[in-house]
Chains A and B, each alone.
Chain A
Amino acid sequence: GENVEQHPSTLSVQEGDSAVIKCTYSDSASNYFPWYKQELGKRPQLIIDIRSNVGEKKDQRIAVTLNKTAKHFSLHITETQPEDSAVYFCAATIPGGGADGLTFGKGTHLIIQP
């Protein structure tokens, strides 16, 4: 089955700086890569996703890049703000990989220092 590794487990950056979270996946057939943000005690919320036919996608301060050859994808947050503090999860989907096909990373706790 698919295996998703996520790094780092904790990331602390100064407000205004950029943050990068990286994930690798094992199955080259994976074709969909969503990112979820989970604030303490709240639900995971989809913040951005990318499909395997695209190398990069951007939405305001958030961008995701995908390198299919290396089987890794990254979340980039620029001009970080206090409200960006949360746990971020990456996920990968294998076609035919079960009912939901989503395999999640273990999460990155992003801390924005004022």
Chain B
Amino acid sequence: NAGVMQNPRHLVRRRGQEARLRCSPMKGHSHVYWYRQLPEEGLKFMVYLQKENIIDESGMPKERFSAEFPKEGPSILRIQQVVRGDSAAYFCASSPRPRQATNEKLFFGSGTQLSVL
């Protein structure tokens, strides 16, 4: 079991460009969560998805950010027209069942470090 896979590990973008971050959950996990970590800060929840459905996006900024988890392929976190404030580490986590329902343990990927120049 390869664990939660994220790519790229590092992503550099200029202001105004688009960033696409990918996350493949652990085998057998159909629940994906995205978190953002700013320097010297804890993890902040962004969005929770199941296959083809966004369940909770209460932590997502209202503009420029979107996420999807298609039937086939990885989950994608997309940031349009990036600004310097988007620079952060973005972590994906997965669980086999809804985390909240049973306090499932979360397994994190290695993260994508986004740097906006």
Contact = CB atoms under 8 A, between A and B. Distances in A.
A89 B43 contact: yes
Nearest to B110: A43
A31 B43 CA distance: 19
Contact of A93 (B41, B56, B103, B108): B103
Interface residues of A, number: 29
B1 interface: no
A107 B109 CA distance: 18
Contacts of B69: none
Nearest to B6: A43
B97 interface: no
B33 A106 contact: no
A105 B100 contact: no
A89 B106 CA distance: 14
Contacts of B41: 106-107
Given A106-B41, A106-B42, A100 B108 contact: no
A14 interface: no
Nearest to B34: A100
A51 B103 contact: yes
Nearest to B41: A106
B43 A43 contact: no
A32 B103 contact: yes
B43 A101 contact: no
A89 to B, nearest CB: 6
Given A43-B108, A43-B111, A97 B100 contact: yes
A34 B43 contact: no
Given A46-B105, A46-B106, A99-B98, 15 more contacts: A9-B40, A43-B4, A43-B111, A45-B108, A96-B100, A98-B58, A99-B56, A99-B58, A99-B99, A100-B45, A100-B99, A102-B106, A104-B42, A107-B41, A107-B42
